[in-house]
Amino acid sequence: MFGRRRKQEKWILLAPAILVLALITLTPLANTFWLSFTDTRISALPTPVRFIGLENYIYAFTDPEFRDSIYRTLYFTIVSVGLEGILGVAVAVLLNQKFRGQLILRALIILPWAVPTIVNAVAWRLIYHPDYGALNSLLFQLGFISDYRSWIGDPSTAMNMVILADVWKNFPLVAYVALAALQTVPGDLNKAAAIEGAGPWKRFWSITLPWIAGPLMVVMVLRTIEAFRVFDIIYVMTGGGPADSTKTASFFVYQEYFNYLRSGSGASYAVLVAGISAVLILFYYSNAKRQASGATA
């Protein structure tokens, strides 16, 4: 019965992977969901767990600090992914030209991506240092600023500085995907349009960009999902400060759990953040599916 044997094999081959994922992700997810309806606290002593229904959620929805942290996360996500997209495509277009050192530049571009996130955060923290940072010194010596500034110590600039560091590390991914897509644009298409009298700018908008839009969209959504859960870089660069100006949703939940030890209410925040992520993930899925069917058609 090879139909049945194939089916058996299918599940046997999958079983170990499913088991690991169920234990390490599914169970905790369900657990977090359950916790979010309780008033559990992290404590060394065994404490009674009380089911309190939607109370945590009602509080979470009316909590202005949580709401602000979501807004900050959205700001971080939209601005950094947006910049990564623009910079990534621009660099990809550049790398797609013929010039001396093209291969070297292509190899260099991968370096920021290879820098570990934490090292990236640490390096930029040093660069932003209020007294001895390279940024202050550079801008001062070039005459752009007359006084040293505390780039990540000032609530009005801190988030943007974190974004700059994030963009520096992550634009190469977008650039590489865009470049790979660009290399599949048929040269004839551009030549034909040029003969029709379309200028380079028009050609970019009406031919190149639509051609690479599919893969670009997928990688941008992927980056969005990643950016939305930002934690590491915030933890190292600003610790959520100053004045909570970089306290993103993940960081908010982290503090609720491990600083205030409120696991019940922390879980409700976590579930809400997970809900937003789930929407983004579904969006990714529909995009990726369209991409895949488009690619085979």
Partner 1 sequence: MPEQHILSVDNLQKKYGDVQVLKDINVSMEPGEFLVLVGPSGCGKSTLLSCISGLTEVSSGAIQIGGKDCTHAEPANRDIAMVFQSYALFPNMSVERNIGFGLEVRKVADAEKKKKVADVADLLKIEHLLHRRPAELSGGQRQRVAMGRALVRDPKLFLFDEPLSNLDAKLRVTMRTEIKRIHQATGASIVYVTHDQIEAMTLATRIVVLKDGVIQQIGTPHEIYNTPVNAFVADFMGSPSMNLMSGTATPDEGRIRLEIPTPQGAPIELVDTTTAPEVFPNGPTEVLIGLRPEAMTDQKLNNGQNLQTANCLLEVVEPAGADTYAVVHLGGTEAIARLSADAPVQAGEMSPITFDLSKISYFDVTSGNRL
Partner 2 sequence: MRRTLLQSVFLYTCVFAVAIFTTGPLLWLVTMSVSAPTDLTEVPLRWIPSEFDFSRYGALLDIDGGSGERFLSALRNSILTAGGATAIALFLAIPAAYSFSRRNASMVLLFAFLATIMMPPITYILPLYSTFSSLGMLNKTITLVIVYTAMLLPFATWLMKANIDVLPLEVEQAAFMEGASTAYTIRTVVLPLALPAIAATAMLSFLVAWDEFFYALIFTNDLSAKTLPVAIADFSAGRVTDYGVIASVGVLATLPPAILAICFQKFIVSGLVAGSVKG
The yes or no reply on residue 189 touching partner 2 (CB under 8 A) is no
Q: What is the DSSP string of 196-255?
A: TT--HHHHIIIIIHHHHHHHHHHHHHHHHHHHHT--HHHHHHTTT-STTTT--HHHHHHH
The yes or no reply on residue 86 touching partner 2 (CB under 8 A) is no
The yes or no reply on residue 2 touching partner 1 (CB under 8 A) is yes
Which residue among 153, 215, 241, 242 contacts partner 2 (CB under 8 A)?
215
Nearer to partner 2, 151 or 228 (CB): 228
Closest distance to partner 2 from the beta carbon of 184 (Å): 10
The yes or no reply on residue 13 touching partner 1 (CB under 8 A) is no
Torsion sign across C-alpha atoms 278, 168, 235, 158: negative
The yes or no reply on residue 118 touching partner 2 (CB under 8 A) is yes
φ, ψ of residue 122 in degrees (nearest 5): -65, -45
The residue to which tokens 């820098």 are assigned: 115
The yes or no reply on residue 201 touching partner 1 (CB under 8 A) is no
Which residue among 170, 236, 238, 245 contacts partner 2 (CB under 8 A)?
236
Stretch of residues binding partner 1 (CB under 8 A), selected from 2-10, 32-40, 113-121, 128-136? 2-10
Q: Where would I find the H helices in the chain?
A: 2-21, 27-35, 55-62, 64-95, 102-114, 117-127, 134-141, 158-182, 187-195, 200-203, 209-228, 232-237, 249-258, 263-296
Choose the contact partner of 49 out of partner 2, partner 1, none; CB within 5 to 8 A by kind: none
The yes or no reply on residue 195 touching partner 2 (CB under 8 A) is no
Give the span between the Cα atoms of 39 and 55, in whole angstroms. 9
The residue to which tokens 């013929």 are assigned: 98
Which residue among 222, 238, 240, 265 contacts partner 2 (CB under 8 A)?
222
The yes or no reply on residue 1 touching partner 1 (CB under 8 A) is yes
List contacts with partner 1 (CB under 8 A): 1-3, 5
